[in-house]
Amino acid sequence: MIDRRTLLLMSMALLPASAAAASRRRSPSPQTFDYGPALLDVYTRDGASSLPVVLFIHGGAWRAGNRTNVNVKPAFLLDNGFCFVSIDYRMLPKADVATQADDVEQAYRYVRANMARYGGDPNRIAVMGHSAGCHLAALTGLRGGLPGVAALVLNDTRAYDLEALARSGGMTPAYARAFPDPAQWRALSPATHVGSRKHPPTFVAYSRAQGREQDSRAFAERLRATGTEVTLFDGSAYSHMSINRDFGEEGDALTAAVMIFLKATIV
């Protein structure tokens, strides 16, 4: 497991101040595309070719947020040799979580089919999500809905195993609104789809928010039992919001850990 103290010692070498400062100075403008049910933004540099891609799924309790909630992620990742994609998906209450997962899979298929023309490598896509987006990334990635995905970066959710969450008393109002039907809990739980097969390399991060460490550790161990390469990040120094917001900022420990992971898996 990677803890914050270890990463702070490494971050100066991996995240030079010039890159972080450049991220704040140059906020890139995306190209926006309609992938079917919603829109997505593609961020890339002129002349990019065959670069690894990070596809980001925003959070917001499955009912809020949008593809522009990216902070400095696009500029930081472009400065470090990636293309970046951020997607919208339809929100509760108009679309249920099952429909949202289908939207994510459709967005991924669009990106994989079209990313080469914008400088990305369709065979080197990492899917990253925070909060509700973390759940959707895990669910779609583990159930086979992201064919060819190179890696998953899962950032801070408790919605890995909904039945276990309910048993532990963790079905808060936000979760209860997103998952009102217990008959659907197994199908919508990423843990259900772990099975016995090996999955793409997976990075699991948790904040100090209630229950995150326990649920993330249990999920990571379940994945490891299949032979899947898992990196577990102790983000207990972060709040649920800052663990997402601070990605790409100078000296950020989570950013350093994710970059180590990505360099080992898709770069």
Per-residue pLDDT of 37-81, as tens digits, reads 999 999 999 999 999 999 999 999 999 999 999 999 999 999 999
Pick from 230, 259, 255: nearest CA to 8: 255
What pLDDT, on the 0 to 100 scale, is given for residue 1? 67
The dihedral of CA 221, 223, 226, 227: what is its sign? negative
1-10, 42-51, 85-94, 174-183: range with lowest mean pLDDT: 1-10
**What contacts 221, CB < 8 A, 6 or more positions away?**
none
Pick from 201, 210, 233: nearest CA to 11: 233
Task: Measure the CA angle with vertex 264, ends 78 and 19; round to 5°.
Answer: 30
Alpha-carbon distance of 107 to 89, in angstroms, equals: 9
Q: How far is CA 94 from its chain centroid? A: 23
DSSP at 203: E
**Consecutive H or E run containing 54:** strand 51-57
Give residue 2's pLDDT band: very low, low, confident or very high (50, 70, 90). Answer: low
List, for residues 108-142, the tens digit of each pLDDT value.
999 999 999 999 999 999 999 999 999 999 999 99
Cis previous bond, 201, omega within 30: no
What pLDDT, on the 0 to 100 scale, is given for residue 130? 98
Alpha-carbon distance of 79 to 60, in angstroms, equals: 27
Q: Specify which residues 40 forms β-bridges with.
A: 33, 87
CB 100 within 8 A of CB 62: yes
Q: Strand (E) positions, 105-254?
A: 120-130, 151-155, 202-206, 230-234
Alpha-carbon distance of 267 to 249, in angstroms, equals: 21
What pLDDT, on the 0 to 100 scale, is given for residue 26? 63
Alpha-carbon distance of 72 to 15, in angstroms, equals: 14
- Give the CA distances from residue 215 to residues 21, 140, 211, in Å, rounded to whole numbers and listed in that order: 35, 19, 6
Cβ neighbours of 133 (radius 10 Å): 29
**pTM for this entry:** 0.92
- Give the CA distances from residue 254 to residues 60, 189, 221, 232, in Å, rounded to whole numbers and listed in that order: 20, 25, 20, 11
